[in-house]
Chain A
Amino acid sequence: MPMTIAEKILAAHSGRDDVKPGELVEADLDFVFANDITGPMAIRVFNKAGGKMVFDPQRVALIPDHFVPNKDIPSAIQAKEIREFARQQKLPHYFEVGRMGIEHVLLPEQGLVLPGDVIIGADSHTCTYGALGAFSTGVGSTDLGAAMVTGTTWFRVPESMRFIFSGKLNRWVSGKDLILYTIGRIGVDGARYRAMEFCGPVIEGMQMSDRFTICNMAIEAGAKVGIIAPDAITESYVKNRARRPYRFFSSDPDARYEATYDWDITQMEPQVACPHSPANVHKVSELKDIAIDQAVIGSCTNGRIEDLRVAAKILRGRKVSSTTRCIILPGSPDVYRQALAEGLLQIFIDAEAAVSTPTCGPCLGGYMGVLAAGERAVSTTNRNFIGRMGHVKSEVYLASPAVAAASAVAGRIAHPDEVL
């Protein structure tokens, strides 16, 4: 039976020749993880479910990235819970401050999540690793705690939707713009419960960082997974990182899709999602005179070295507007180190931006840039729900690193060409 890549990976992990959308399968898991917010609850579940040792310490990670370095005493208590569990379970993949990065930047970089894997993480943006050609999805703490015991979980096989991108990308148009455009077209529940498969010549020509950005935001369309067939670009990314064998799957030519979208993106300009929905998407040129108080560049969506390079291209020799704060958060220690080596941090500091240690921080209104009532931010993150970055009366505009950096300089939402 012809299958999509998502169906093939699920079949291979549940000991079946084939699977069909709608079926329930019990799948072996290649990797499971939680963070400092979801971890403590998952550990409680693990204990309650009678867990003694995790199913395989090599396949479990705990990453305190959301409110760590500890932002307050309750956060310190939560981080301590997962640290102690990691020690007690002798987990090799616990990432302490200084070695810690945002989970979805860190795990692929460390070669811990790989093509062909089935992965669950207690974080909704676990769908990011679909960029590697993995079936990877977010779950809650209970599912994660149970999976730490058994190494398996159940899935309903999702229907697949296909998004084909062709044409030529304009300068300053990136993976972020493609996914914002997609969510703007289909809505925040346009792919609810589905696998979103991204393909076509534009995707095939894209570097891994853009592919991660695209799959990262599949959840913003309600999807269970975002997925891209692995190819030579994937291979060159994983081959020197992988800590275990991996496998490439791809969709059969006659696989069945619930819907296919075929978009020529040649005319596309940078996209911005306006408050308070990732689907409220406009072209940057349509947004006139929207003054911003803060620009945030980072997160699991756009905190990779390629993102910082784009921001540096715009900020080099310029200054952040006197009416704006610009906060830059490298996604991992490796990204930080690389940015240092390439002189990007110098450019940011000379531009009078603030550079942070890797953390989720302001993305979810945690710390390091919480907004007051009436304040407005442009951000490379993935959600602009009411109150997401602070006060319920604050606003977040989602954009690419290029648009965020240009806006930081202009003090209002701006196209990169306006400041260069």
Chain B
Amino acid sequence: MTIRGKIWKFGNDVDTDVIIPARYLNTSDVKELASHCMEDADPEFARKIARGDIIAAGSNFGCGSSREHAPIAIKEAGISLVIAESFARIFYRNAFNIGLPILELPQAGGAIAQGDDVEVDIETGSITDHTTGLQYQANPIPPFMRELLTAGGLVPYVASRAARTTRR
């Protein structure tokens, strides 16, 4: 699958309180959550982006709380992919579980700039920055995570196994 979109750039340690502030966690309504995505970093973010756009950030993206509302808000806001130098572990798990593609790219913080037009092959991790003409190779998605993505997230993956799974 290839994705092409405009880059929205963030720094290091983007935490889940910035992605979706706790004051909106009194609801699980995904549209409502999406409308407040990244609000404390950029109040206009949810309105400015176009469907399919891409977030690029530095290290430790998604640190902080376990709220799955964070990747959900990003996905529902229309962001198709997050590229970061590294991800916080709960965010990483949650993103795959709900079907938000994410890629680790060591140069994500430095080389790719705000507004760049970028094309990404999710399977191979190959990234082309059409604005600068430069090419990058993201870390490959680990096989088990790819299995989850192929199954359509953790829910269908578990549902398919639930029939035969009982505890040892």
Contact = CB atoms under 8 A, between A and B. Distances in A.
Nearest to A39: B28
Contact of A78 (B26, B88, B158, B166): B26
A281 B22 CA distance: 24
Contacts of B26: 67, 71-72, 74-75, 78
A74 B86 contact: no
Nearest to A392: B40
Given A37-B25, A142-B154, A364-B22, A50 B93 contact: no
Contact of B67 (A48, A140, A152, A192): A140
Given A71-B26, A78-B28, A277-B13, A142 B155 contact: yes
A222 interface: yes
Nearest to A276: B15
Contact of B167 (A38, A44, A55): A55
A57 interface: no
A201 B158 CA distance: 44
Interface stretch (A297-305, A382-390, A410-418): A382-390
- Among B26, B28, B68, B153, which residue has the most Cβ atoms of chain A within 10 A? B26
A169 to B, nearest CB: 29
A189 B17 contact: no
A71 B162 CA distance: 37
B59 A189 contact: yes
Contacts of B40: 386-387, 392
A75 to B, nearest CB: 4
Interface residues of A, number: 55
A78 B63 contact: no
Interface string A384-402: 0111100010000000000
A253 B13 CA distance: 35
A143 B167 contact: no
A49 B66 contact: no
Interface residues of B, number: 44
Nearest to B71: A140
A40 interface: yes
Interface string B145-168: 000000001110011011101111
B78 interface: no
Interface in B1-51: 13, 15, 17-18, 21-23, 25-28, 40-41
A141 B162 contact: no
Given A188-B13, A387-B40, A49 B63 contact: no
A124 interface: yes
A257 interface: no
B60 A192 contact: yes
Contact of A15 (B18, B22, B168): B168
A41 interface: yes
A268 B34 CA distance: 44
B125 interface: no
B17 A383 contact: yes
A224 interface: yes
A366 B22 contact: yes
Contacts of B86: 189, 192
7 contacts: A38-B66, A72-B26, A192-B86, A192-B88, A366-B23, A386-B18, A387-B40
Report, nearest first, the 7 A-B pairs whose CB atoms are least far apart: A140-B94, A140-B68, A142-B97, A74-B26, A189-B60, A364-B22, A124-B66
Interface of A: 15, 24, 28, 37-38, 40-41, 44-45, 48-51, 55-56, 66-67, 71-72, 74-75, 78, 122-124, 126, 138-143, 145-146, 149-152, 154, 188-189, 192-193, 222, 224, 277, 364-366, 383, 385-388, 392
Given A15-B168, A140-B90, A140-B98, 7 more contacts: A50-B158, A126-B66, A140-B93, A142-B155, A189-B13, A192-B60, A386-B15
